[in-house]
Amino acid sequence: MFTEDSLEQVVLELLQDELNYTVQNGYDLIRDYHSVVLEEELLKSLYKLNPTLPEEVIGDALRRLLYIDDASLIAANQNFHRYLIEGVRIDVYGEDAPTLIVKVIDFDNLHNNTFKAINQFTVIHKAEKRPDVVLFVNGLPLVVIELKSAVREDATIHDGFLQIKTYQDVIKPLFHYNAFSIISDGVNARFGSITADFDRYMQWKQVDINTPIVDEVHIAQIGTLIKGLLNKEHLLDIIHNFSFFAGGKAKIVPGYHQYFGMNKAISSVVRAVDGDKRGGVVWHTQGSGKSFSMVFLTGGLIHRLNNPTIVVVTDRNDLDEQIHGTFSSAADFLRQAPARAESRENLIELLEHRSVGGIIFTTIQKFTEETGLLSNRHDIIVIADEAHRSQYGIDPDIKIDKQTLEAELVYGYAKYLRDSLPNATFIGFTGTPINSSDKSTIGVFGDLIDVYDMTQAKMDGTTVDLHYENRLAKVHLDEGILDQIDQEVANIESQGLTPEKIEKLKKDIVTMEAVIGDEDRLNLVVDDILKHYEIRKEMLEGKAMIVAYSRKIAYRMYQLFKEKAPELAAQIRLVMTDSNKDDQDMRDVVGNKHYRQTLANQFKSENSQFKIAIVVDMWLTGFDVPSLDTMYIDKIMREHNLMQAVARVNRVYKDKEAGLIVDYIGLSKYLKEALNTYTNRDRNSIPEIEKAKEILMTEVEILEGMFHGFEFSRYLSATPKERFELIQDGVEHVLKERAKEVFLKHVARLQSAYKICATALDYTVRVQVSFFVAVKSFIVKVERDGMPDVEAFKRKITEMIELAIIRDGDEVVSISAKKEKSLLSVENLQKIMAMKRKNVAATILKKLIDDKIKWFEQTNIVRSGFFSEKLKNIVERYNQMEDINVLITQMIDFAKEIESAINEGIDMQLTPEEQAFYDALAKPELVKEHYQSDVLREMAKKLIELIAENKTPDWYKRNDAKANMRSLIKRLLKKYKYPPNEIPEATELVIRQAELQMKHNLYETQSYYTSHSMAAESKGIY
């Protein structure tokens, strides 16, 4: 069988054979389990890397590395990371004595470092734990790998993540040194930092910078991740140049696209500095961590180019503010705080007389004809965000302000940038593609360096799917008029501007505002959004954004929402820049810059009341709110503006499967036009919601077939109480037909489609879906927890049915095991026998017996083997005769037998642990001919005392400790002349029992007395 141990061996072989790590078994190490550092190895490395430093300095550095201040995990980790990167600073006392730096890792010559992988590395802190594999560099534990079985369906990669989080608490000192952790279930593999949630644990799909991305689903990810991420050169590079702490709150490590992409970008810019000054363009789709990529790029350029001046250019104030905030949080990593040009004059001050260094943020609009020459230096790097033609073109263009109806002839800002910084090197970032015909952008920045498209981001789990829902029919909008007006505006903008055409434009824009802002139409839009949002908010926890055509229309929509849904007043906010032209009422709603920043913070907080934002232009670029899942658009947008806007809902968040774009203005053709400039596989990446509806209706049809003869019409018209009875009948039907696995698979597909298209379904279909999900929930809960709390489940189902809304995860609430002395009590068995739905009863009973046998598997080697075999035989006989009543009778008899076995120990005043040894001692039938029960009972108690007094961590796996424990056990048994001569193998069973209980930590003093107490209390209920 391919177990966790088998997967562990695969990982160790990859590390040893492919990457040349030294591999060692943790059980063979003689060490202090309270220390997580290989102290001797670390000391040797410190001497090797610092041959000229005195012994006492090395000793001081060693002590600092061994005893990291642990006020908080992230603070300790950041402190250690600083030691890794900068070395340990040791003050030498004395006149004019310099501060000495003790190097910890040689990042320039990896062969000067030691790389070791140790499996089953035991650590004792709050408790004793053993991570599967720990990687050490120079004796320091930098990577933790946690593995789960590749063949057990119930062992998932998420379990690995939860185990890592447990380790971070229970054996916290190990993670003071952690660069990142890796989790895998054999098929899936991910890695993440100490602060990463599960949805931020990332895949690594590339072995090297020139190798292809590995996406095939049938290829296990663990091999690619280990060979790509744990390659010695990559590992040290990631630690040194691609890890930082964002504001002391989060540890950031790169995705593979960021690591390889930014290494390409760094090399390209370094070449361009001495060449044509065109560093190239990085196309990484929206939501893929572009701001962090810019930080990694800047850090690399500062290192490679000896502290050049970096100028980061954006095209919007809010985007400038957002990226500046990211860079500010990484000031330690960049070794300098970025400056933000508040005005054109401030920009000139920051650049004009600077001779070296500096990271300066500015908007492109600050570069004008009047800016003039700022610097002739060759070591200035301009990083331009959203490097597309509208901002960075060189040719003049006509720009029209649709709010003020003013037009002017404007040169591309690249011209003024080049005039101001003629010898600078340019590199561009974009989340949308650069058209091959866009000669201006290519002329300024150069060719594409790296591409990470929408499809790849979704496949990697970096972003989620986007879906499109057209609701034009709901608001009776004449799309033809809008098309005509929009085309006219586009034609005028693309041609010269005459007074006649200006007047024509003014009339068309006014007409557009009148059509979109018509009071009757706005009422329809608001009504429909409220109806739509009511369904969405019950399904998902996320937030919504409404994009209005103009400031005036946005304000009117805000008023209508408050009038029509006063209960949502605290959840809806209007987000726009303030204007002197606004009347006082509007100004009071819009507020000032400080108020807008407060709103931004509230909207980003998943727990705030602020759920719905009405915007016009703000927050449509560079504003990340992972919990945002629905965007209602009532404004015509095109090309990169449209794609940047809809990408606001593609961020990963908890169990969010997709973002939804709801169209009230007719964006379908513009989406298609925009996507035509993307990669071939991206062009169909925003499917219409109708496709999800088709999938859902197909699943409904399949499920209806599985319930042939079931009267759904009764379900639709039934009372809540009658519906609940029908749900239980549905559960019985699925179990009776032996169709559980197929049923659960189709309901899972149904739920995935439902989350996307629920708002497009009729009420009757939503109720029908609620039936299938309720049946699934009941089955899952019964199989997971046994006896359901029927009343609690009934209340939950009634609520679901009344709303016809399905939440993924609504399940039956179980009886708390803490309140029950035994779930196999006489009372519960009587309840099960009385159930009219016999297949449900059998499922519950089997679950309860399974759980009890699993408990025996951890405590009693004799009973667990016997009980497991007996249950298997009962179920096999049932499968042959298919008489459910016979199965229930036999399982209830069996349940009573299990409880009787437990009572035997209680009658003899034995704890469960002592009873397990009694059973092992008495297992061979011949034993009872030689020993009285009291003698066996005494031996069992003495064995518990012996092991509790002499146990050492991992004694049952370490050969030396195991031999010692075996010797002690045999010596004790020999005092009682055990075993009899004719059954020498009896001793081996006793030792196996000791190993089993030790493996499950049953010799802790607290658990020993607790179990004894519980056993004594429990006797009366069986």
Looking at the DSSP bridge assignments, the partners of residue 202 are 191
- Secondary structure of the chain: what % helix, strand, coil (to 5)? 55, 15, 30
**CB of 79 closer than 8 Å to CB of 67:** no
**What's the rounded Cα separation, in Å, for the pair 923 and 863?**
10
Consecutive sets of 10 residues in the chain, 1022 residues long: mean pLDDT of each? 74 95 92 94 97 94 91 93 95 78 96 96 92 97 89 75 95 97 91 94 94 74 93 97 93 97 96 93 90 96 94 86 92 94 88 88 83 88 77 56 56 76 92 65 82 88 88 70 62 56 61 82 93 84 91 94 93 91 88 91 91 93 89 88 88 87 86 76 75 87 83 75 81 79 88 82 85 85 58 51 42 33 60 70 74 77 80 70 72 79 80 85 71 84 85 70 83 84 76 78 42 33 26
Q: Could you tell me the two tokens for 120?
A: 């089953």
**What's the rounded Cα separation, in Å, for the pair 230 and 211?**
16
Place of tokens 């100004």: 587
Tell which phi-psi region holds residue 639, choosing left (phi > 0), alpha (psi between -120 and 50) or beta.
left
The pTM (predicted TM-score) of the whole model is 0.76
671's CB contacts (< 8 A; 6+ apart) are 468, 642, 646, 686
**What's the rounded Cα separation, in Å, for the pair 743 and 814?**
22
Q: Could you tell me the two tokens for 19?
A: 């990457």
Name the helix (H) or strand (E) containing 180.
strand 180-184
**What's the rounded Cα separation, in Å, for the pair 757 and 468?**
10
**What's the rounded Cα separation, in Å, for the pair 296 and 284?**
14
**What's the rounded Cα separation, in Å, for the pair 75 and 13?**
34
**What's the rounded Cα separation, in Å, for the pair 1009 and 1015?**
10
3-state secondary structure of 565: coil
Number of Cβ within 10 Å of residue 343's Cβ equals 10
Comparing CA positions, the residue from 144, 125, 147, 128 lying closest to residue 136 is: 144
Name the helix (H) or strand (E) containing 245.
strand 244-246
Distance in Å from the first CA to the final CA of the chain: 38
Pairing of strands 448-452, 278-284: parallel
Tell which phi-psi region holds residue 874, choosing left (phi > 0), alpha (psi between -120 and 50) or beta.
alpha
Comparing CA positions, the residue from 285, 652, 212, 645 lying closest to residue 462 is: 652
What is the structure's pLDDT at 173? 95
**What's the rounded Cα separation, in Å, for the pair 493 and 505?**
9
**What's the rounded Cα separation, in Å, for the pair 848 and 322?**
54
Q: Could you tell me the two tokens for 140?
A: 């320091």
3-state secondary structure of 549: coil
3-state secondary structure of 623: coil
Q: How far is CA 397 from CA 369, 389, 412, 415, in A?
A: 15, 11, 7, 13
Comparing CA positions, the residue from 519, 473, 530 lying closest to residue 668 is: 473
| SS3 of 404-455 | CCEEEEECCHHHHHHHHCCCCEEEEEECCCCCCCCHHHHHHHCCEEEEECHH
DSSP codes joined into one string, 133-156: EEEEETTEEEEEEEE--SS-TT--
Burial 867-902 (b: 16+ CB within 10 A, else e): beebbeebeeebeeeeebeebbebbbebbeebbebb
Q: How far is CA 199 from CA 207, 216, 415, 600, 657, in A?
A: 22, 21, 43, 23, 12
Tell me the one-letter amino acid at 762.
D
What is the structure's pLDDT at 292? 95
Cis, peptide link before residue 131, omega less than 30° from 0 = no
